[in-house]
Amino acid sequence: MVSVTIEDFQKIDIRVGKIVSAEKHEKSTKSAYKLKIDFGLLGIKQSSAQITKLYKPEELVGKQILAVVNFPAKEIAGFSSEVLVMGIYSDKGVVLLKPEKEAKIGERVG
């Protein structure tokens, strides 16, 4: 395990977002969804997320999630993934990280 300082951690901008749309990412070589996520004042960002084992697109719309919003965009099978949706790898699939209670969209984790 690598140790990091609090200053290192503070460089990562993790925000609360609300999924506004989800659809299958047909061109991806790995099973994934194309998500559009509302981050309030930061606007709507998109992400390619490999969360198809445990979630259906219609179940995702309206869910709050946590995402890293300050990584550089990554091109994934012709789709610009602007944020990294956070999750935990389990033997059944990726489990999304989310606030325990409803939180203000766009709020920073800290």
At residue 64, the pLDDT reads 98
Tell me the pLDDT tens digit for each residue of 50-90: 999 999 999 999 999 999 999 999 999 999 999 999 999 99
Q: Give the rounded percent of residues in the chain with a pLDDT score beyond 70.
A: 100
**Confidence at residue 56, expressed as pLDDT on a 0 to 100 scale:** 97
Contacts 24+ apart (CB under 8 A), 92-98: 92/53, 92/54, 93/51, 93/52, 93/53, 93/54, 94/49, 94/50, 94/51, 94/53, 94/54, 95/54, 96/51, 96/55, 96/63, 96/65, 97/65, 97/66, 98/63, 98/64, 98/65, 98/66
Prediction pTM value? 0.94
Extents of the domains making up the chain = 6-96
Could you give the 3-state DSSP secondary structure of residue 9?
helix
pLDDT, position 29:
87
Spell out the CATH class of 6-96. Answer: mainly beta
